[in-house]
């Protein structure tokens, strides 16, 4: 993952928990066309494998069109079936080492919660990026771990791997994370469930 000093594509977009209609694909195209997104992660915890594959194929096509890396959450097998650009692993998912055998040189990122120890393990296992959070309260998932800005400074001292910040990131707090050297901001609810702005309007406000 190469990082330019002025990273204008700092958004790591995560899908809503449910994708139910074609309006989502229209909005996704508009959002990716904005040129602010580097990664899109398909995260459907309660969907069948069959539906994940159907939805994933449609999303992969859109991601390809706008040169956005397409990642699958939790499941390296689905990532392989979809020929995705990689996958994101939680701490209870398949190990990085096993996933690497399956996905070869594809992108593999790992959740580190608020732990430098987990990050060091991720680094030694060969992760391509490290995700920390939740930095703020979020409706997207239950928050077991809270991360703070200090962890961003600490991790930057020990690795040059890209760092993804996650959890409750929106218009009034995103700049703080970028100023503290987060490379990418994982965002979901602010884009897909924003009561004030449509997805394209919401993403345009993140500059």
What are 149-183's pLDDT values in tens digits? 999 999 999 999 999 999 999 999 999 999 999 99
Percent of the chain at pLDDT above 70?
A: 96
User: What are the C-alpha distances in Å from 33 to residues 48, 73, 104, 206?
Assistant: 29, 22, 29, 14
The pLDDT value given to residue 51: 97
Q: Which residues pair with 187 in a beta bridge?
A: 13
Q: Per-residue pLDDT averaged across 173-196, rounded?
A: 97
| 6 — pLDDT class (breaks 50, 70, 90) | low
The whole-angstrom separation of Cα 183 and Cα 164 is: 6
The pLDDT value given to residue 4: 42
Q: Write down the pTM of the prediction.
A: 0.95
Q: Which of 130, 120, 126, 148 is nearest to 90 (CA)?
A: 130
Produce one character per residue of 185-196: b if its CB has 16 or more CB atoms within 10 Å, e if not. Answer: bbbbbbbbebee
- pLDDT higher than 90, residue 132: yes
Distance of CA 147 to the CA centre of its chain: 16
Q: Which of 150, 181, 149 is nearest to 163 (CA)?
A: 181
User: If you ran DSSP here, which 8-state letter would residue 67 be given?
Assistant: T
Percent of the chain at pLDDT above 90?
A: 91
- pLDDT higher than 50, residue 135: yes
Q: Per-residue pLDDT averaged across 138-142, rounded?
A: 73
- pLDDT digit string (tens) for 44-64? 999 999 999 999 999 999 999
User: If you ran DSSP here, which 8-state letter would residue 106 be given?
Assistant: S
- pLDDT higher than 70, residue 75: yes
The pLDDT value given to residue 134: 95
- pLDDT digit string (tens) for 81-91? 999 999 999 99
- pLDDT digit string (tens) for 18-32? 998 999 999 999 999
Which stretches of the chain are DSSP H helices?
A: 23-33, 49-65, 76-81, 96-103, 116-125, 149-156, 174-179, 189-192, 199-204
Is residue 90 helix, strand or coil? coil
Q: Which domains does the chain have, with CATH numbers?
A: 11-204 (3.20.20.70)
| 8 — pLDDT class (breaks 50, 70, 90) | confident
Q: Does residue 28 contact residue 59 with C-beta atoms inside 8 Å? A: yes
Q: Which of 126, 108, 112 is nearest to 41 (CA)?
A: 108
- pLDDT digit string (tens) for 96-118? 999 999 999 999 999 999 999 99
The pLDDT value given to residue 2: 45
């Amino acid at each position: 993952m190469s990082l330019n000093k002025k990273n204008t594509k700092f958004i790591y977009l995560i899908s809503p928990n449910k994708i139910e209609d074609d309006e989502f694909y229209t909005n996704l195209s508009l959002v990716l066309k904005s040129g602010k997104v580097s990664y899109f992660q398909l995260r459907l915890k309660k969907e069948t494998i069959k539906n994940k594959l159907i939805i994933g194929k449609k999303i992969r096509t859109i991601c390809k069109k706008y040169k956005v890396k397409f990642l699958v959450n939790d499941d390296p097998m689905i990532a392989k079936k979809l020929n995705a650009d990689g996958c994101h692993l939680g701490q209870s998912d398949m190990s990085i080492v096993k996933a690497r055998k399956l996905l070869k040189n594809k992108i593999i990122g790992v959740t580190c919660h608020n732990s430098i120890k987990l990050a060091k393990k991720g680094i030694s296992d060969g992760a391509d990026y490290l995700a920390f959070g939740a930095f703020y309260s979020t409706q997207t998932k239950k928050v077991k771990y809270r991360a703070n800005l200090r962890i961003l400074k600490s991790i930057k001292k020990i690795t040059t791997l890209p760092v993804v910040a996650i959890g409750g990131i929106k218009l009034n707090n995103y700049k703080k994370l970028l100023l503290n050297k987060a490379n990418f901001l994982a965002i979901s609810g602010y884009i897909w469930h924003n009561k004030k702005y449509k997805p394209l309007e919401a993403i345009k406000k993140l500059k």
